[in-house]
């Protein structure tokens, strides 16, 4: 191929490409709908064969306000346009399942000022209020600092809501001057048509927002013979944003004698139970020696529920008075109960107080291998097992156990204690352990029930033997013995049946053999005759 031919082909390709581009550009220009604004109407050219047109109205040139499909070549947007904002609209043709590209045109800002919303604060409650706007579907709100820098937002507030609690904002950022901005929207997300701004106001969290302890003092008294006592403090749940007392509240006991008191955990409570008072129990530690003790109960509150912003919400002085022994109190030096010593096969029996006028006892038996589950009252002791007897001693009014009292079950002293204070007490629990010895041999133990064996039980009928006794005569021969024994007769009958079957089988085999030989001879003779 010559150079001239190559150049000719390249020139032809360039001419064709340019022609195709011009034709495409011309076709594209011809398909434009030429969208434009005429006052508040969007207008565009018709497309031949189009069945409809899809239009979108944008607020601030980017946020969709309205999306519709129409058949005319114009649309009146007046009811969606609000003073002080700019808009644009886009349109495309639709033809069956085909559709053109969107073409848009900007209108610019609508003359006039936006509808104003009046906002105001109640600084003591940290609430922002505003006048409702007719036609509003929702509000967006911004809480700003004194320099109008946004520090908190609340978008999509329901149109029926015309207030906002800014307490958490104030708590997180401190007391000070705040302002609020708000916008009202309708007819689609982003279509703002009203806005407002509150004058700056001083906001702060007040003590009324905190929960509090109603009593300022609580005195607990422990009478002689008692181990401890408890009393109640009243907690008032105040504030506007406590949601769960379990997360927002806690107690602490401080002071030199703090270890002599304890208090119930708080909560949980929910938002609906605010402004109510609840009893909280404060108790003394059992076994505290006689004397007077002092501490302070502190209530803390964290509105953020993060555990990082605890504020003291109140305190209460605690006093504990443990009274000395009365002169008529009798001390018990030796304590005893009686019980049945375990024996294999015996049922469980409870222990009994040796001096019921001074103290009572309660007992349970435990299997040492499973000490968490008491044995039932109908349980039976088993040989080879370990058992525990658990006895609790309760002193009667006017009596108490000495700190060094000795505890007995029958004549055995306690091996261990599960409740025993270091000083005089009215309640002590002791343990005794027993092991039931296993039987000396493996022979079965006699019982009232007959033991099951594989041998038939004996009856009054004489036992059958292979050689019946013939009193006064010589012993019979073997044939007579076989006939006389019922079991031997059965064996003979069974053997005879087996022999008969074997004979029949042999006969059938012989007959088949004869028939086979005869058939062979027949074919041999026939063959010879044929020759």
pLDDT digits (tens, 9 = 90+) for 91-133: 999 998 899 999 999 988 888 877 778 777 776 667 888 888 8
Domain for residue 226, yes or no? yes
Contact 136, 213 (CB under 8 A): no
Q: Are residues 213 and 304 in the same domain?
A: yes
User: Whole-angstrom Cα distance, residue 203 to residue 209?
Assistant: 13
> Which structure tokens are listed for 365?
């038996």
Higher pLDDT, 85 or 77: 77
Last residue of a domain, one of 68, 89, 109: 109
Band the pLDDT of 194: cuts 50, 70, 90.
confident
CATH number, position 236 = 2.60.40.10
Domain for residue 522, yes or no? no
Domain for residue 305, yes or no? yes
Higher pLDDT, 113 or 257: 257
Domain for residue 474, yes or no? no
Domain for residue 7, yes or no? no
Q: Are residues 91 and 138 in the same domain?
A: no
Band the pLDDT of 255: cuts 50, 70, 90.
very high
Which of 151-155, 194-198, 218-222, 488-492 is predicted with the least confidence, judged by mean pLDDT? 488-492
Q: Are residues 277 and 345 in the same domain?
A: no
Q: Are residues 343 and 401 in the same domain?
A: yes
Which of 206-210, 333-337, 424-428 is predicted with the least confidence, judged by mean pLDDT? 206-210
Each residue's pLDDT tens digit, 355-396:
999 999 999 888 888 888 888 888 888 888 888 888 988 888
525 pLDDT more than 50: yes
Domain for residue 24, yes or no? no
User: Whole-angstrom Cα distance, residue 206 to residue 193?
Assistant: 36
Q: Are residues 126 and 197 in the same domain?
A: yes
Q: Are residues 99 and 122 in the same domain?
A: no
Q: Are residues 351 and 415 in the same domain?
A: yes
Domain for residue 177, yes or no? yes
pTM of the full structure: 0.35
> Which structure tokens are listed for 228?
């401890």
Residue 363 pairs in a beta bridge with 391
Beta strands in 112-208 (DSSP E): 115-117, 119-122, 127-130, 138-144, 150-158, 163-165, 176-185, 192-197, 201-203
Q: In whole angstroms, how far apart are CA 59 and each of 97, 111, 142, 193, 410?
A: 29, 14, 20, 10, 96
234 pLDDT more than 80: yes
164 pLDDT more than 70: yes
Q: Are residues 390 and 415 in the same domain?
A: yes
Burial label, 55 (beta-carbon count in 10 A; 0-12, 13-18, 19+)? buried
Higher pLDDT, 485 or 76: 76
Q: Are residues 353 and 423 in the same domain?
A: yes
Residue whose C-alpha is closest to residue 252's, from 298, 307, 291, 314? 298
Residue 70 pairs in a beta bridge with 53
Q: Are residues 303 and 314 in the same domain?
A: yes
Band the pLDDT of 531: cuts 50, 70, 90.
very low
Last residue of a domain, one of 322, 347, 366: 322
Residue 320, number of CB atoms within 10 A of its CB:
25
Q: Pick left, alpha or beta for residue 233 (phi over 0 → left; psi -120 to 50 → alpha; otherwise beta).
A: beta
User: Whole-angstrom Cα distance, residue 58 to residue 69?
Assistant: 15
| Domain extent at residue 284 | 208-322
**What mean pLDDT is predicted for residues 442-463?**
49
Residue 180 pairs in a beta bridge with 143
Q: Are residues 427 and 340 in the same domain?
A: yes
Contact 271, 240 (CB under 8 A): no
- How much of the chain is helix, strand and coil, in % rounded to 5? 20, 40, 40
137-159 exposure pattern, b = at least 16 Cβ within 10 A, e = fewer: ebbbbbbbbeeeeeebebeebee
Q: Are residues 59 and 123 in the same domain?
A: no
Domain for residue 246, yes or no? yes
Residue 305 main-chain phi, psi, to 5 deg: 60, 25
What is the biggest distance separating any 2 CA atoms in the chain, rounded to whole angstroms?
A: 152
Domains identified in the chain, total number: 4
Contact 431, 388 (CB under 8 A): yes
User: Whole-angstrom Cα distance, residue 298 to residue 252?
Assistant: 5
HSE, CB side, 13 Å, CA atoms: give it for residue 456.
6
Last residue of a domain, one of 152, 176, 205: 205
């Amino acid at each position: 191929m010559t150079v001239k031919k190559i150049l000719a082909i390249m020139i032809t390709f360039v001419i064709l490409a340019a022609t195709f581009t011009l034709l495409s550009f011309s076709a594209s220009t011809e398909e434009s709908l030429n969208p434009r604004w005429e006052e508040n109407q969007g207008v565009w050219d018709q497309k031949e064969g189009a069945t409809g047109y899809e239009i979108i109205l944008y607020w601030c040139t980017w946020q969709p306000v309205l999306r519709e499909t129409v058949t005319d070549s114009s649309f009146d947007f007046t009811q969606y346009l609000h003073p002080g904002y700019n808009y644009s609209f886009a349109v495309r043709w639709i033809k069956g399942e085909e559709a053109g590209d969107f073409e848009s045109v900007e209108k610019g800002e609508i003359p006039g000022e936006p509808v104003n919303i009046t906002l105001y604060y109640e600084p003591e409650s940290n609430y922002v209020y505003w006048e409702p706007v007719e036609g509003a579907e929702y509000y967006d709100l911004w809480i700003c600092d004194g320099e109008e820098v946004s520090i908190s937002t609340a978008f999509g507030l329901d149109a029926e809501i015309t207030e906002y609690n800014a307490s958490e904002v104030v708590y997180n950022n401190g007391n000070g001057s705040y302002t609020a901005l708000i916008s009202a929207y309708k007819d689609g997300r982003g279509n703002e048509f009203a806005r407002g701004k509150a004058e700056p106001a001083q906001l702060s969290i007040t003590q009324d927002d905190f929960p509090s302890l109603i009593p300022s003092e609580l005195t607990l008294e422990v009478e002689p013979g008692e181990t401890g006592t408890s009393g109640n403090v009243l907690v008032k749940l105040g504030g506007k944003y406590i949601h769960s007392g379990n997360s927002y509240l806690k107690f602490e006991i401080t002071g030199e004698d703090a270890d002599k008191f304890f208090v119930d955990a708080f909560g949980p409570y929910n938002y609906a139970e605010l402004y109510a008072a609840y009893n909280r129990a404060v108790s003394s530690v059992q076994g505290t020696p006689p004397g007077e003790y002092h501490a302070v109960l502190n209530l803390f509150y964290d509105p953020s529920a993060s555990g990082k912003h605890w504020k003291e919400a109140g305190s209460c002085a605690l006093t504990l008075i443990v009274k000395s022994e009365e002169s008529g109190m009798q001390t018990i030096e030796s304590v005893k109960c009686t019980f049945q010593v375990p024996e294999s096969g015996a049922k469980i029996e409870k222990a009994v107080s040796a001096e019921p006028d001074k103290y009572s006892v309660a007992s349970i038996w435990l299997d040492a291998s499973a000490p968490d589950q008491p044995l039932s009252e109908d349980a039976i002791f088993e040989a080879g097992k370990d058992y525990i007897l658990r006895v609790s001693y309760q002193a009667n009014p006017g009596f108490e156990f000495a700190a060094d009292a000795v505890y007995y079950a029958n004549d055995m002293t306690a091996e261990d204690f599960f409740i025993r204070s270091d000083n005089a007490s009215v309640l002590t629990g002791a343990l005794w352990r027993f092991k039931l010895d296993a039987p000396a041999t493996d022979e079965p133990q006699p019982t009232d029930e007959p033991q099951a064996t594989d041998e038939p039980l004996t009856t009054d009928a004489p036992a059958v033997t292979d050689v019946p006794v013939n009193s006064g005569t010589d012993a019979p021969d073997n044939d007579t013995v076989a006939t006389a024994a019922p079991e031997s007769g059965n064996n003979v009958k069974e053997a005879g049946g087996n022999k008969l079957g074997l004979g029949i089988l042999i006969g059938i085999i012989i007959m088949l053999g004869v028939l086979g030989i005869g058939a062979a001879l027949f074919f041999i003779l026939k063959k010879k005759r044929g020759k």
